[in-house]
Structure 1
Amino acid sequence: MLGIPIKFTSKIEEFIAHDGAKLSYGRQALGNEFFIQKVDLLMEQGFSELEIKVQPWDDTICFFPLPEASDLPFDIFAASFYLLSRYEEYLPHVKDEAGRFPAAESLASQESFLHKPVVDIWAIKFRDILLERFPKLEVANRQFKAGTIITSEHTFIFKNKGFLRSFIGMLLDLFSLNLGKVADRLQVWVRLKDDPFDIFEDLIELIKKHKIYMLFMFQLSDFSIHDRNISHNRIPHRAVIKSVADYAKVGLLMGYYAMEEIRSLRKEKLRMEEIVHSPVEHAMNSKFNLRLPDNYNDLIELEINNDHSMGYPEMPGFRAGTSTPYLFYDINMEVTTPLKVHPFAFHSSVVETMSKTKLREDLSRMLMEVKAVGGIFRGVFRNHDFSRYSDKNLYYSFLKQIHEVE
């Protein structure tokens, strides 16, 4: 995070002889280095229930406190590891109805620091303390960035649905006296109107006009009770994905079975690669039920190296305590993996459950926090948020708030 190049040594003489910046992490200091006393977490194998006491540190919080002999008042490495590895999600916990680890179960939510990228805040404070001690230390200059992910579980609402699905859909609209939808459906069928969910050209215009970063995730699952997108073989579906891929990055929104078994995930990956003629580099779990580390290991095995599922759909905030992408560490195998985790802090589904004023304030506060640490703020929206069946102006206003465009 700080861009400080480091070397490790286990030779005490070499360490003591070094006259530049140096740091030790252990039971006791060796000489005149920067010393952080360790708690046992990073030396353990597997997991254990931990009693965590959160306490203040200047204007933020910390946990795993240390005695005064240490140059930092807490074990910054163990605390960061606890959040980034998602240690608490490996431990027994109550899942929600979608099989997810709920935000309310997290330490960050229970101790009211979910809205803060605390690992980034710790890193910046750590950098400043190190620079006081070692003024010649070279550190990277972090730059704030904003990005948006657009997920598409239903590329179209009416188009290409097949006769039986369309006929049943029209009957349901008639029975519920939704005559506007009946009229729209008929006009889409005879090609007088574009499909209401096909909002991709509008978003591409926004990208071109404001030079903002967007990543589009399309679902290419087989039709089932859980996944109801149209077939990946339909030419208009493929055409949308291809045209979006000309202007923005596209990735795979994993279907229900792709999150459960690698065979389905491989099939969906190959479909996407066949459409866009390039390897799939980005994936997202459509339900955010990560099942760590299995879910991530499937991505690693298929060489999908960027995951965008690290966030809570039901609550704004930083699931892993950071806004910075990082390499996933598999605690079961005790290994750093090649999978880069890109956290998000806002999911548009919260618009339906939170007051708009509160949400604007939360969003504003989180953006400010991420700017202060030069992090990356990511928001997730669904394509149907911007359709005429939704309060699209409201969703656009949140999108623009993230990207600071008018």
Structure 2
Amino acid sequence: MILIFTNKITSRIRYIFKHIFTSILGIEIKFTSNIEEFIAHDGPKISYAKKELGSELFFEAHTLLFDKGIQEDLEFSIDFKGEIPYFFRTSDKSALSHDLFASSFYLITRYEEYLPSIKDSLGRFQSKNSLAFQNGFLKIPVVDLWAKEILYKIQEKYPDIKANQRPFAFINTISSHEAFKYAQRGIGGTLAGFIKDFFQFKFQSIKERAQVILNLRRDPYNTFSFLLDVHKQNKLKSIFFFSIGELSEYDHNISIERIFYRELIKSIEDYSFVGINFSMRSTDQTHLKKEEKKAMETISHRTPNRSRQHLFKLNLPFTYRDTIEIDMRKDFSMGYHDEIGFRASTCTPFLFYDLKYESLTLLKIFPFIFSDHALKRKHGYDQKKIKQEILSLIMTVKEFSGVFISVFHNHTFSNEPQWKGWKEIYLDFIDTINTIQKEK
């Protein structure tokens, strides 16, 4: 156990110290603001303050963890040691040259996403505006890396302190925005599809739609048998996120009133975890999220606790507040739709801290590292580069004993021209994960 002294034990300090020491390093800590208790303690101890008290290990504190609210005028410069960024510089008296606790808090709470910025056409925070993207460290889980640096400093003074070595973990997720491309659309939806394809001169789509409707071919997006077979063969229990909201401009799934769709979800749940892909319509609309959650409960006869926001649209803190209000406990939306890497600069799941309310919540955030769409956007049809990119990311997460979370979609394995070769990419990915997990 490490005793930590700070002049004022704020909710921010409790949050980030527990994440670094407990969640990442597996080290027990205790806080105190009592100087006499701290000085009298003869075990491992560190102080987090403006001035050191004595012979303890001293980490000089930036003001961020003692502040409240969002400081729009917060300014800092970034220093680099190689490719590794450091900010919130401290004095020479500190054990580290920068306040890595405050830096970690800034990144993991997504402080910058509360600041004014230009959103994309869907109202999403843009990856290109992030500190990590602009400074070239988006593919580095710097919070986990900094945690190791903190540990090394502590072990220099207290060599008996040992971190609990976490195993590398993998969570495979499949997002199903559209379970079927043509099937189960009803008479109205099918006719509308034919008419739209005709006026857009998509004659191949007209042919395919007719073949699917006449049961002459399988719907191209219905790749669930392929996925389940792969997962069963590899003893891989994945999470499938299904869209069950009503149709809108960005929500194109079939109605949950369709028996075939309901049976599909129930059959998937026999071998996998099932979560809700909340519709775009439900963004910041708590009552719609409640309706979608209730619909999923009716289908599966279980209470869902895993969620993902459609197209990864997050509006902090409101999206997560809505998720908490309807009693969802695990969210898998933290990542960028158009970039690869660590949006929250960590490969360790973390609890959501509401910067507006200055409160820790029980909502656990599971940050994903890449989506198939982001990989395709970056590397096009170059399978070799895609596989190399994935392997590099896996090895990075393995180095920090983190949790590797991927995002694929059912339509990715449709064998349509734009997704040619992705079944092979997926199989290679799963084989690589299996090999890594077997290594000691």
Name the TM-score, length of structure 1 as normaliser: 0.95
> d(CA) in 2 for partners of 1:399 and 1:127?
36
Q: Classify 1:223/1:363 alpha carbon distance in 2 versus 1 (closer, same or farther; 3 Å).
A: same
- Correspondence for 1:116 among 140, 155, 172: 140
Amino acid corresponding to residue 394 of structure 2 in structure 1: L
> d(CA) in 1 for partners of 2:417 and 2:233?
23
SS in 2 for 1:287: helix
Amino acid corresponding to residue 3 of structure 1 in structure 2: G
- Correspondence for 2:197 among 149, 160, 173: 173
What is the CA distance between 1:359 and its match in structure 2? 4.2
1:146/1:213 contact within 8 Å kept: no
Show CA shifts across 1:283-314 (max 9, x none): 11112221100000001111101111110010
Alignment correspondent of 1:379: 406
SS in 1 for 2:74: coil
> d(CA) in 1 for partners of 2:141 and 2:259?
43
Moved more, 39-48 or 186-195: 186-195
Alignment correspondent of 1:323: 347
- Correspondence for 1:82 among 106, 114, 123: 106
- Correspondence for 1:396 among 407, 417, 423: 423
2:340/2:374 contact within 8 Å kept: yes
Show CA shifts across 1:66-110 (max 9, x none): 111001111111000000110000011111111111000000011
Alignment correspondent of 1:250: 274
1:146/1:402 contact within 8 Å kept: no
SS in 2 for 1:207: helix
- Correspondence for 2:58 among 11, 14, 35: 35
> d(CA) in 1 for partners of 2:82 and 2:248?
52
> d(CA) in 2 for partners of 1:46 and 1:3?
29
> d(CA) in 2 for partners of 1:94 and 1:176?
33
1:144/1:375 contact within 8 Å kept: yes
Amino acid corresponding to residue 20 of structure 1 in structure 2: G
- Correspondence for 1:47 among 70, 75, 95: 70
Matched residue pairs, number? 406
> d(CA) in 2 for partners of 1:85 and 1:271?
31
Gaps of 5+ in 2: 1-23, 435-440
Q: Classify 1:405/1:341 alpha carbon distance in 2 versus 1 (closer, same or farther; 3 Å).
A: closer
Instruction: Indicate the percent of aligned positions where both proteins have the same amino acid.
Output: 37
Alignment correspondent of 1:234: 258
Moved more, 367-376 or 133-142: 133-142
Show CA shifts across 1:301-338 (max 9, x none): 11101111110010101110011100010011000100
Alignment correspondent of 1:290: 314
Aligned: 1:201 with 2:225 = yes
What is the CA distance between 1:345 and its match in structure 2? 1.1
1:283/1:308 contact within 8 Å kept: yes
Moved more, 171-180 or 23-32: 171-180
- Correspondence for 2:360 among 333, 336, 340: 336
1:284/1:307 contact within 8 Å kept: yes
> d(CA) in 1 for partners of 2:40 and 2:424?
58
Show CA shifts across 1:213-259 (max 9, x none): 42110001112233221111111101111111111111000101211
Amino acid corresponding to residue 11 of structure 1 in structure 2: N
> d(CA) in 1 for partners of 2:29 and 2:375?
44
> d(CA) in 1 for partners of 2:91 and 2:387?
40
Q: Classify 1:152/1:7 alpha carbon distance in 2 versus 1 (closer, same or farther; 3 Å).
A: same
SS in 2 for 1:354: helix
Higher helix share: 2
Please show how residues 47-196 of structure 1 align to structure 2 within 5 Å: 47-48=70-71, 49-57=73-81, 60-175=84-199, 178-196=202-220
Amino acid corresponding to residue 363 of structure 1 in structure 2: I
Moved more, 308-317 or 169-178: 169-178
Aligned: 1:9 with 2:32 = yes
Q: Classify 1:177/1:294 alpha carbon distance in 2 versus 1 (closer, same or farther; 3 Å).
A: closer
Amino acid corresponding to residue 140 of structure 2 in structure 1: K
Q: Classify 1:265/1:79 alpha carbon distance in 2 versus 1 (closer, same or farther; 3 Å).
A: same
Show CA shifts across 1:117-172 (max 9, x none): 11011112222332232122242112112222211111111111011221222234
> d(CA) in 2 for partners of 1:58 and 1:172?
54
Alignment correspondent of 2:393: 366
Amino acid corresponding to residue 186 of structure 2 in structure 1: G
Moved more, 356-365 or 146-155: 356-365
1:379/1:402 contact within 8 Å kept: no
What is the RMSD computed on CA atoms of the aligned residues?
A: 1.9
Q: Classify 1:302/1:167 alpha carbon distance in 2 versus 1 (closer, same or farther; 3 Å).
A: same
Q: Classify 1:392/1:297 alpha carbon distance in 2 versus 1 (closer, same or farther; 3 Å).
A: same
> d(CA) in 2 for partners of 1:138 and 1:212?
32
> d(CA) in 1 for partners of 2:158 and 2:429?
36
> d(CA) in 2 for partners of 1:25 and 1:273?
47
> d(CA) in 1 for partners of 2:123 and 2:26?
37
What is the CA distance between 1:373 and its match in structure 2? 0.4
SS in 2 for 1:123: helix
Alignment correspondent of 2:240: 216
Moved more, 15-24 or 101-110: 15-24
1:153/1:218 contact within 8 Å kept: yes
Moved more, 109-118 or 222-231: 222-231
1:257/1:265 contact within 8 Å kept: no
SS in 1 for 2:229: helix
Gaps of 5+ in 1: none
